[in-house]
């Protein structure tokens, strides 16, 4: 496994991260999966208080308890479940963020979070108030660093300008090149690490039947999946090719992949050992589809 610095933080994280949202509600299986990931060199695990209404953090906490000191644990805050469990509201307010951290720490069975992220964000949020909440938690030692999870360029620009974020989590893949227009270079220039999610585009680039995705139709998805398959082979699986397409950009600190099975884990964890894409392969992939761009929140 190779490791990369997470922006201007002191965190050295595995270039393949474990997206815990995909975990099923089975503690023994989850523990075995997470322990296998650790054995394969993955040290970055991403969860959120929103996932499974807190159960995801509980399951991760149980699995990492004895190995906590060797791991980088990230969680998120901002989506508040309604009291009746029927849905959720967006809540980026300072008091709410401050009220959530102790519950997250308890569920994860830890004294601190390495990376605490705002789980979304809009340009109409009380951004300075939100930032102040994270700064307070950092001073209290409850979090080491903070970041945001957002695909909105206007929101990302404000946090770059006004905060001390060390990371931005965003969707990025061959089928979602929207971050390439402005976000990736902006974050690279400001030494803010990108945590890329969706590298496999819901499996459409690897093994799922073609279906419309963002602005692409089914025929275009088939074309992209075929291109990934054509550059793969005995030295690089289709998943590894799709992930390497993401990891090629210098702004990326880690590709955070949702993993459900040992087989998936063994495949994606070996991406670090697989041959990286060469310039010709990248050029070929870039010509497959017209690049997409953000059409909102610019």
Asked if 241 contacts 200 with a C-beta cutoff of 8 angstroms, the reply is no
Of 64, 90, 65, residue with least CA distance to 77: 90
Asked if 275 contacts 236 with a C-beta cutoff of 8 angstroms, the reply is yes
Of 104, 34, 100, 27, residue with least CA distance to 71: 34
Q: Which helix (H) or strand (E) holds 124?
A: none
Q: What are the structure tokens assigned to 55, written together?
A: 């159960």
Asked if 178 contacts 157 with a C-beta cutoff of 8 angstroms, the reply is no
Residue 51 among the catalytic residues:
yes
User: Which is catalytic among the residues 3, 51, 145, 216?
Assistant: 51
Asked if 84 contacts 125 with a C-beta cutoff of 8 angstroms, the reply is no
Q: What is the rounded radius of gyration, in angstroms, for the C-alpha atoms of the chain?
A: 19
Please report, for residues 25, 52, 61, 106, 234, the alpha-carbon distance to residue 46 in angstroms, rounded to integers and kept in the order given.
Answer: 16, 14, 12, 16, 30
Q: What are the structure tokens assigned to 74, written together?
A: 């990230």
Asked if 289 contacts 216 with a C-beta cutoff of 8 angstroms, the reply is yes
Q: Which helix (H) or strand (E) holds 227?
A: helix 218-230
| Distance of alpha carbon 145 from alpha carbon 142, whole angstroms | 9
Asked if 78 contacts 90 with a C-beta cutoff of 8 angstroms, the reply is yes
Here the contacts of 87-91 (C-beta below 8 Å, separation 24 or greater) are 88/50, 90/120, 90/122
- The DSSP code for 182 is T
- The DSSP code for 210 is P
Active-site residue list: 51
């Amino acid at each position: 496994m190779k490791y990369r610095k997470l922006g201007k933080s002191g965190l050295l994280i595995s270039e393949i991260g474990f997206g815990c949202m995909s975990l099923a509600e089975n503690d023994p299986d989850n523990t075995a999966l997470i322990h296998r990931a650790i054995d394969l060199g993955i040290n970055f695990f991403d969860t959120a208080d929103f996932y499974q209404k807190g159960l995801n953090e509980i399951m991760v906490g149980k699995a990492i308890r004895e190995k906590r000191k060797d791991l980088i644990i990230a969680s998120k805050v901002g989506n508040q479940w309604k009291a009746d469990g029927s849905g959720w509201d967006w809540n980026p307010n300072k008091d709410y963020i401050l009220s959530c951290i102790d519950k997250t720490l308890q569920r994860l069975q830890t004294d601190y979070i390495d990376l605490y992220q705002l789980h979304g964000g809009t340009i109409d949020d009380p951004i300075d108030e939100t930032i102040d909440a994270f700064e307070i938690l950092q001073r209290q030692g409850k979090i080491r660093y903070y970041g945001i999870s957002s695909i909105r360029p206007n929101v990302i620009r404000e946090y770059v300008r006004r905060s001390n974020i060390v990371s931005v989590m965003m969707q990025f893949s061959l089928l979602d090149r929207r971050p390439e227009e402005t976000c990736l270079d902006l974050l690279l220039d400001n030494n803010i690490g990108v945590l890329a999610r969706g590298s496999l585009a819901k499996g459409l680039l690897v093994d799922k039947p073609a279906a419309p995705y963002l602005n692409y139709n089914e025929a275009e998805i088939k074309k992209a999946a075929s291109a990934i398959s054509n550059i793969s082979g005995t030295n690089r699986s289709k998943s590894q090719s799709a992930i390497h397409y993401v990891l090629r950009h210098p702004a990326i600190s880690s590709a955070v992949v949702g993993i459900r099975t040992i087989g998936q884990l063994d495949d994606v964890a070996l991406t670090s050992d697989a041959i990286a894409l060469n310039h010709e392969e990248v050029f070929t992939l870039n010509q497959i589809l017209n690049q997409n761009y953000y059409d909102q929140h610019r």
